[in-house]
Every structure is written in C-alpha cells, then in structure tokens.
Amino acid sequence: MLTTAADSVVSVTEEIEPMFAHGRSGLELLNPGRFQPLVYERERLFRVNGAVLGVWTEVLHTGSLFGESVASVEMSKEDSQQVKGRDDWAALLARLSAAGG
C-alpha cells in the first residue's frame, strides 16, 4: 500500500464468465468483449478471493472497508481458495497434501 499510495489492497481472481447487472430492460451484459477474440482491459472484472485484505486503520475509522483507492494482487483460480468453514479447510488440506505440501 505504501508503493501505490492505496487505501487498501485485496487479492482478486479475474472473472472470465459473462457477468450481468440489472438494467432498464432486464439484465445487461457487463463484459460483452468477453465474446470477442481480444480482451478489453476496461471490461476485465475481478472477484475478491479472500486471500489478502490490507486496510489502513485510518480508512477503517471512516466507516469504509476499502477506502477510495484499492490496489490488487491478481491470483489464478488454482492458487485461490477461501476457507469459510470446516469443509473448505478439509478441501484445502487435501489439495496441499496432494501437491506434496
């Protein structure tokens, strides 16, 4: 966060599947370039993967979790696993064991 002067840093994975938001006539595609052979940088969408979340204390005192500027660490889906319960923990341990870790 010091390098980028960001309020927070989060780890993310790129969402390559089509994503929609509510629009005037129903759902509208957020990333239509997804169906083109070129990747449109401005259409890239990211999902927080939960591996890293760093926030300045001062930002938290404002009532915001992320602040105004958010830096990111992009991770592959293979390297990302959220542990939200015992089943997730067991799956992570099995994955690490299978990888020899």
- Complete domains list, the chain, with CATH: 8-98 (3.90.550.10)
Q: Do the strands 45-55 and 20-23 form a parallel or antiparallel pair, or are they unpaired? A: unpaired
Query: Rounded to whole angstroms, how far apart are CA atoms 56 and 53?
Result: 10
Q: What is the mean pLDDT of the chain?
A: 87
41 vs 68, more confident = 68
Query: Rounded to whole angstroms, how far apart are CA atoms 65 and 5?
Result: 16
Going by C-alpha positions, the residue among 45, 55, 46, 49 that lies closest to residue 9 is 55
> Which burial class, exposed, middle or buried, applies to 10 when counting CB atoms under 10 A from its CB (0-12, 13-18, 19+)?
buried
Per residue in 44-72, pLDDT (tens digit) is 899 998 888 899 999 999 999 999 999 99
